């Protein structure tokens, strides 16, 4: 039963769905629930004769208001925390375990919510997993709200770690609308770290590092989402709290900032109805040279970082993923600014992205198991490999490179943020098959240089819901007009390379077909 005080806290700290609605029944799609009025929301799909089940698989009492069971915390420590800490070594993890062993209520509630969410994402989740994850999520938000309302300047590390765990939880749930909500109190706490003791200040610094890594690498927190909210300014504040970051991180920061700033110019022009920016040839040459300099600086910084790591597999993997994400940012910057790039240079960048991801994933598996051939982990946070390889598979127009990206994608952790390997594979395969079918029809004698021409390239792909069923929509630009052709493909995540049933129609939905689409 929600008390009046609890209702006030939930109202002040309500969680939004991805569409920005404070509370609506549509939030329940794709297992996304709002926190406000959660009791009535959960009652809509509470199973009858429900048997309690804890995350460890043993029968026991599931509680959210009166406490967290020891089994939930043990499950988090043994099964969830290893995935979280695999990309970065940090004293935060050991400090977090101490807080859990001390039965800290806030950390315990959020950790339990992450455990339940992980259970709900398994191949064969318990029958009650959806209800348990929703209830645990609600309890975690309430505990955090209560804790922050009683915050009087002490326990900075506890509150910062709880904010970090909530960001991790949102990345597993696939919600980026709540990023700003959890970042606000964390930024306030991090700004006050200089007034704390040395041990607390070090923990806060490490929390800032992990939050930055998770946000930049999470597929759910895209440049468009950063552009549309204050999360960008809050992330900049976190950057200011860590001016001593290594060179690889500083380069990635500058690329992310430039990418979002460039997106601002395109979005502002599109919303105002003005003509989209056209890149002057002289300006294009300068921008091309600038991105080349950034790429060379990135390579040099990565070499220095790996040399300083002295063969540590986890550090090498972390550096590799940062390089891959930075190369993806460089590619997007070039696309947004309309910089004409030689085909060979573009292909070399895509090849490097695949090489780096492949090597980093192998290093990560070696660190975890001592064998590079072991199966990938169930999920991961802080890598961004799925986003990079998906982008190569759908944007690169060289047949060999994109197929190699698809093979490397199979070795990724199965889930990162809102993305899974199965869904990324489905989208890449759909784009490859559609483009190659069109190319074979229009160029029966074969393509020059094994490279797709512009009229055979998918301009954009996105997941939509039509008549209650998810579909993958592909956008093609017509050669003889400014219109687009769309093709809807039913979403079957486990589907392999096989014929698709396509239905197409022509639309004039975009203001300018020349606009690059992220």
55-89 pLDDT, tens per residue?
Answer: 334 333 333 344 567 777 887 888 778 777 766 77
Task: Give the list of residues 6+ apart from residue 257 with CB closer than 8 angstroms, or none.
Answer: 236
Task: Give the list of residues 6+ apart from residue 184 with CB closer than 8 angstroms, or none.
Answer: 234
2-20: average pLDDT: 42
Does residue 442 form part of some domain?
no
Residue 116, both tokens? 């339940």
Buried b (16+ CB within 10 A) or exposed e, 299-315: eebbeebbeeeeeebbb
49-63, 152-166, 403-417 — which one is most confidently predicted on average? 403-417
**Residue 502 or 321, more confident:** 321
Write the pLDDT tens digit of every residue in 248-257: 888 888 888 7
Residue 27, both tokens? 């939030």
Using CA atoms, how far apart are residues 211 and 217, in angstroms rounded to an integer? Answer: 10
pLDDT band of residue 133 (cuts 50, 70, 90) is confident
* β-bridge partners, 469: 466
> Is residue 257 packed enough to be buried (19+ CB in 10 Å), middle (13-18) or exposed (0-12)?
middle
For residue 378, pLDDT beyond 90 = no
Comparing 206-215, 273-282, 411-420, 427-436, the range with the smallest average pLDDT is 273-282
Backbone angles phi, psi at 342, to 5 degrees: -55, 145
Q: How far is CA 442 from CA 155, 204, 479, 492, in A?
A: 66, 58, 12, 28
Q: Specify whether 225 is located in the same domain as 286.
A: no
Q: Specify whether 324 is located in the same domain as 392.
A: yes
> Token pair 């899974």 is at which residue?
420
Q: Specify whether 172 is located in the same domain as 34.
A: yes
Angle between helices 129-149 and 105-120 in degrees, nearest 10: 160
Does residue 337 form part of some domain?
yes
Q: What is the pTM of this model?
A: 0.73
Q: How far is CA 175 from the centre of its chain?
A: 9
Query: Closest by alpha carbon to 38, among 137, 111, 110, 122?
Result: 137
Reported as type and span, the H/E element at residue 317 is helix 313-337
Using CA atoms, how far apart are residues 230 and 483, in angstroms rounded to an integer? Answer: 34
Give the three-class secondary structure for 485.
Answer: strand
Torsion angle of the four alpha carbons 502, 421, 517, 340, in this order, in degrees rounded to the nearest 10: -110
Per-residue HEC secondary structure of 81-113 comes to: HHHHCCCCCCHHHHHHHHHHHCCCHHHHHHHHH
Q: Which of 396, 417, 438 is the last residue of a domain?
A: 417
Residue 6, both tokens? 């609890």
pLDDT band of residue 288 (cuts 50, 70, 90) is confident
Range of the domain at 65: 4-245
Provide the pLDDT for residue 276.
53
Q: Specify whether 327 is located in the same domain as 234.
A: no
What is the domain count for the chain? Answer: 2
**Residue 366 or 26, more confident:** 366
Q: Specify whether 241 is located in the same domain as 342.
A: no
Q: Which of 204, 227, 245 is the last residue of a domain?
A: 245
Does residue 458 form part of some domain?
no
Torsion angle of the four alpha carbons 400, 219, 87, 312, in this order, in degrees rounded to the nearest 10: 40
Q: Specify whether 108 is located in the same domain as 234.
A: yes
Reported as type and span, the H/E element at residue 70 is helix 70-75
Q: Specify whether 307 is located in the same domain as 211.
A: no
Does residue 189 form part of some domain?
yes
297-301, 314-318, 354-358, 490-494 — which one is most confidently predicted on average? 354-358
Write the pLDDT tens digit of every residue in 446-469: 776 677 777 788 877 888 888 878
Instruction: Tally Cβ neighbours within 10 Å of residue 249.
Output: 22
Q: Specify whether 184 is located in the same domain as 301.
A: no
Does residue 252 form part of some domain?
no
Q: Specify whether 77 is located in the same domain as 218.
A: yes
Does residue 208 form part of some domain?
yes
Instruction: Tally Cβ neighbours within 10 Å of residue 236.
Output: 13
Q: Specify whether 239 is located in the same domain as 375.
A: no
Per-residue HEC secondary structure of 248-283 comes to: HHHHHHHHHHHHHHHHHHHHHHHHHCCCCCCCCHHH
Q: Which of 368, 383, 417 is the last residue of a domain?
A: 417
pLDDT band of residue 28 (cuts 50, 70, 90) is very low
Does residue 193 form part of some domain?
yes
Q: Specify whether 229 is located in the same domain as 281.
A: no
496-505: average pLDDT: 32
129-143, 486-500, 501-515 — which one is most confidently predicted on average? 129-143
Provide the pLDDT for residue 277.
54
Residue 359, both tokens? 């090597």
Q: Specify whether 130 is located in the same domain as 31.
A: yes
As a whole number of angstroms, the longest Cα–Cα distance in the chain is 74
Does residue 449 form part of some domain?
no
Q: Are 373 and 331 in contact (CB under 8 A)?
A: no
Comparing 125-139, 304-318, 498-512, the range with the smallest average pLDDT is 498-512
For residue 92, pLDDT beyond 60 = yes
Are β-strands 484-490 and 419-420 bridged in parallel, bridged antiparallel, or unpaired?
unpaired
Q: How far is CA 460 from CA 116, 140, 395, 513, in A?
A: 35, 37, 9, 11
């Amino acid at each position: 039963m929600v008390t009046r005080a609890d209702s006030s806290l939930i109202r002040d700290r309500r969680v939004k769905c991805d569409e920005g609605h404070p509370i609506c029944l549509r939030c329940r799609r794709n297992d996304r629930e709002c926190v406000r009025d959660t009791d009535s929301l959960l009652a809509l799909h509470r199973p009858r004769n429900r048997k309690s089940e804890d995350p460890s698989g043993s029968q026991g009492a599931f509680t959210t208001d009166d406490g967290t069971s020891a089994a939930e915390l043990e499950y988090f420590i043994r099964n969830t925390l290893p995935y979280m800490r695999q990309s970065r070594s940090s004293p935060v993890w050991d400090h977090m375990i101490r807080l859990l062993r001390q039965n800290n209520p806030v950390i315990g509630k959020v950790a339990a919510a992450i455990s339940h969410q992980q259970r709900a994402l398994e191949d064969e989740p318990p029958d009650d997993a959806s209800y348990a994850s929703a209830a645990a999520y609600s309890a975690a938000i309430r505990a955090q709200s209560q804790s922050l309302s009683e915050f009087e300047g002490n326990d900075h590390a506890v509150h910062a770690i709880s904010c970090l765990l909530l960001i991790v939880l949102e990345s597993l749930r696939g919600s980026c609308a709540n990023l700003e909500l959890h970042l606000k109190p964390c930024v306030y706490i991090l700004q006050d770290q200089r007034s704390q003791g040395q041990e607390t200040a070090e923990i806060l610094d490490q929390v800032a590092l992990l939050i930055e890594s998770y946000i930049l690498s999470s597929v759910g927190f895209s440049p468009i989402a950063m552009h549309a909210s204050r999360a960008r300014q809050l992330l900049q504040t976190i950057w200011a709290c860590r001016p001593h970051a290594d060179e690889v991180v500083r380069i990635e920061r500058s690329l992310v900032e430039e990418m979002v700033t460039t997106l601002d110019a395109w979005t502002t022009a599109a919303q105002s109805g003005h003509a989209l920016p056209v890149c002057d040839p002289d300006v294009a040459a300068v921008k091309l040279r600038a991105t080349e300099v950034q790429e060379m600086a990135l390579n040099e910084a990565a070499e220095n970082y790996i040399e300083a790591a002295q063969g540590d597999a986890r550090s090498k993997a972390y550096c590799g993923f940062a390089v891959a994400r930075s190369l993806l940012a460089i590619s997007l910057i070039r696309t947004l600014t309309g910089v004409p790039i030689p085909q060979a240079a573009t292909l070399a960048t895509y090849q490097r992205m695949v090489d780096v991801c492949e090597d980093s994933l192998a290093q990560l598996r070696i660190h975890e198991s001592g064998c590079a051939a072991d199966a990938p982990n169930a999920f991961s946070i802080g890598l961004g490999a799925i986003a990079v390889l998906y982008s190569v598979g759908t944007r690169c127009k060289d047949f060999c490179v994109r197929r190699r990206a698809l093979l490397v994608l199979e070795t990724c952790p199965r889930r990162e943020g809102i993305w899974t390997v199965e869904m990324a594979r489905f989208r890449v395969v759909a784009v490859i098959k559609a483009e190659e079918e069109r190319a074979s029809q229009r160029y029966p004698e074969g393509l020059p240089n094994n490279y797709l021409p512009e009229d055979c390239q998918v301009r954009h792909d996105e997941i939509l819901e039509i008549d209650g069923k998810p579909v993958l929509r592909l956008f093609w630009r017509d050669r003889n007009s400014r219109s687009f052709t769309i093709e809807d493909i039913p979403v079957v995540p486990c589907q392999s390379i096989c014929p698709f049933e396509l239905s197409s129609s022509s639309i004039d939905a975009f203001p300018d077909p020349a606009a690059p689409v992220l």
